[in-house]
Chain A
């Protein structure tokens, strides 16, 4: 049952970045969870100028367009439950598709990009932990 107070899941989107071009990452979000409350990139080798050109669910922006990856990227020194960026209104989801367009204008060599999405059924409880 996905209905406990602190119930959450981290869904990952992966891509192999092999050039300076726009990569579109798409996935259906877990239908057992009702809200998207956080987004994270940990210890990526992407350059400081990397951009999330679009992060959309059901056609609505989760983050403003052309959002700099630096705002959501953290190092492995950050505790795992503190690596999420959550300064946006929890996005109602239920098996909806998320679309993320990523670009690294200063790409220099191949790397693996992983974008982590935090889903929950109880955004207030989870956000209390994220912001503590």
Chain B
């Protein structure tokens, strides 16, 4: 069974890009990730040592089934620090929050 966790939410005020950190507790695997459309997402696991996603571009294609839109991978987890960067590629509204989600098991 999967759990959806928001690991970042905020406005990309720092030149359209923000870094974030999140400590995972109580889950054994990460199954995927996604973020607000119009951004690129980078994620590193193992306290920043292992880059899993590098500038993944999140699109807005509503012709793709919603369950197929997240970037899926399968990685075992211990209690570890996840670091990431979300960067806007489109002209995003400065008032609009951008989010990053992990699919955890």
Contact = CB atoms under 8 A, between A and B. Distances in A.
Q: Do A and B associate with each other?
A: yes
B20 to A, nearest CB: 15
For A49, A79, A130, which residue has the most chain B Cβ atoms within 10 angstroms? Answer: A49
Interface string B33-68: 010110000000000000000000000101111111
Interface stretch (A5-13, A18-26, A82-90, A93-101): A82-90
Interface in A76-132: 77-79, 82-90, 105, 130-131
Contact of B67 (A63, A66, A75, A86): A86
A40 interface: yes
B66 A74 contact: yes
Contacts of A63: 4
B61 to A, nearest CB: 9
A87 B4 contact: yes
A41 B64 CA distance: 13
Name the prevailing secondary structure of the A interface residues: loop
Nearest to A88: B4
B99 A68 contact: yes
B99 A48 contact: no
Contacts of B5: 64
B81 to A, nearest CB: 20
Contact of A89 (B1, B6, B37, B66): B1
Given A48-B60, A66-B9, A68-B36, A83 B4 contact: no
B66 A64 contact: no
Given A70-B37, A71-B34, 14 more contacts: A40-B66, A49-B96, A64-B4, A72-B66, A73-B62, A74-B64, A74-B65, A77-B63, A78-B64, A79-B65, A82-B65, A87-B4, A87-B70, A105-B96
Interface of A: 40, 48-49, 63-68, 70-75, 77-79, 82-90, 105, 130-131
Interface of B: 1-6, 9, 32, 34, 36-37, 60, 62-70, 93, 96-97, 99, 101, 103
6 contacts: A63-B4, A66-B99, A71-B69, A78-B64, A87-B4, A89-B2
